[in-house]
Amino acid sequence: MKILYVTPFFSPAAYYGEAVENAYRLSLGCARLGCEVRVLSTDADGPRRTAPVELGKPILIDAGFEAIYAHRFLIGALAPSLPMRLMMEMRNAEVVHLFGLNIATALPTLVACRIFDRPLVWSPGGALNPWRGDSGGMGGPTRLERILAPRRLVMHAASAAEKEACAARIPAVAIATVPYGVRVPPESVRTPMEDRLRIGYAGRIEPRQALENLIGAAALLRDSGTAVGVTIAGEGGRRYLRYLRKQIQRLGLSSEVNLVEASLRGSARRHFFEQIDLFVMPSHQEHSAASVAEALARGVPVIAGEGTPWKALSEHGCGLWVKNDPNSLAGAIQQLAAMPLAEMGARGRQWIKQDFDWKLSARKMCDLYAALIFQRPLPDFATAAPEVRPEHAFAPAR
């Protein structure tokens, strides 16, 4: 199969974290299964940075797949050369997979798929159910995108929660639910526990993550006599980062909370997970929260907020799914601190190996691509488009 991935941001860009990692790992997994994979993206690496890549020509990536980068103009993913290159690449593609709802990449992809009659898989990446506190985010396809949607379109949901959002916003389209995978290290390496509980968060630092609640929980734990050390690592908006720093100072937590304003990659990321006892993801809303799966894969128990799709943490005995407020988070941390964390970590690793392996995710995606290319029935993890009158397709949010 010949697959064309279109994504506004791609490796080696690091600023967009999970979105970049998911597109890269899926491309890699499908290439390793024998597919002919090409990625079309921009060189954007954050609002003001660009990634150090060669522009306009295919670059060989791991496992023999290629990526082509168009130069980002000004901010966002607006790349004037991308639409023309997309038309060129479409001639060779048998199926197209679009990531995100960024209008600069979504519109030309929809137009190209319609012109060349190519099937399209569309991963909204959580953009169909944005948290109300997001600024500048897109809540769903524009009217023009609705009109241009190709005949063979399947939305890709990474979780049951995202599937519900897709069904509510785009009721006339088929939906495939395929969780993103995670790399599982051959062993769980843990540094010895210290005289205080080591808590960590790594990922985007934005208001939707509600990290002020984790900081507030650290203050409650300190005041109750529970010794904790919290590391929060990632990149995000300047205003929110300033707000978090001020809260740390106001609560007198400079010794308890370390705010690392950098995306952790490679050995730095590995060391981060080796040196924490608990991973906490508060968050008001997440469609995937891949860092939760990464923590579990490395043997670290997790506390996740009810805005994340990780309700099964308690069922698998590897963490807790709780309300997103300082009191609930502090109570959950105290509860887990008294439990056998190593055993919980081992159960988490086993769960991730079983249900979130990248090979499994890539194989499911390839099955979906084949069904679209050869016009076969959709796989059992996909629901067919219901009979909905055309004027109800791409329904507005309630």
pLDDT score for 143? 62
Residue 190 lies in a domain: no
Residue 126 lies in a domain: yes
| Whether residue 100 sits in one domain with residue 6 | yes
Quickly tell me which residue has 């507030």 as its tokens.
Answer: 216
Residue 189 lies in a domain: no
Cα 18 to Cα 305: distance, rounded to the nearest angstrom: 18
pLDDT score for 133? 55
User: ∠ at Cα 222 (220, 228), nearest 5°?
Assistant: 110
**pLDDT tens digits in sequence order for the chain, 398 residues long:** 999 999 999 999 888 878 888 999 999 999 999 999 999 999 998 888 899 999 999 999 877 799 999 999 877 788 999 999 999 999 999 999 999 988 889 999 999 999 999 999 999 988 776 665 554 444 566 666 667 778 899 999 998 888 988 888 887 789 999 999 888 888 888 888 788 999 999 998 999 999 999 999 999 999 999 999 999 999 888 999 999 999 999 999 999 999 999 888 888 999 999 999 999 999 998 888 889 999 999 999 999 999 899 999 999 999 999 999 999 999 999 999 999 999 999 999 999 999 998 999 999 999 999 999 999 999 999 998 776 444 444 444 44
pLDDT score for 391? 43
| Whether residue 146 sits in one domain with residue 45 | yes
| Whether residue 104 sits in one domain with residue 58 | yes
Domain range for 304? 197-355
DSSP state string for 91-136: TT-SEEEEES--HHHHHHHHHHHHHHT--EEEE-TTTTS--TT-SS
| Whether residue 363 sits in one domain with residue 310 | no
| Whether residue 166 sits in one domain with residue 211 | no
Residue 187 lies in a domain: no
How many domains is the chain built from? 2
| Whether residue 56 sits in one domain with residue 79 | yes
| Whether residue 104 sits in one domain with residue 33 | yes
- Copy the structure tokens of residue 359: 């090979």
Residue 41 lies in a domain: yes
| Whether residue 51 sits in one domain with residue 147 | yes
Which CATH number covers residue 118? 3.40.50.2000
| Whether residue 235 sits in one domain with residue 142 | no
Cα 29 to Cα 322: distance, rounded to the nearest angstrom: 33
| Whether residue 223 sits in one domain with residue 143 | no
Residue 299 lies in a domain: yes
Residue 225 lies in a domain: yes
- Quick check: 77 and 46 in contact, CB under 8 A? no
Write the burial class of residue 293 (CB in 10 Å: 0-12 exposed, 13-18 middle, 19+ buried): buried
Radius of gyration for the chain, computed over Cα atoms and rounded to the nearest angstrom = 21
Closest CA to 156 of 128, 139, 175, 130: 175
| Whether residue 379 sits in one domain with residue 343 | no
Residue 9 lies in a domain: yes
Cα 303 to Cα 292: distance, rounded to the nearest angstrom: 9
Cα 38 to Cα 40: distance, rounded to the nearest angstrom: 7
Cα 345 to Cα 138: distance, rounded to the nearest angstrom: 37
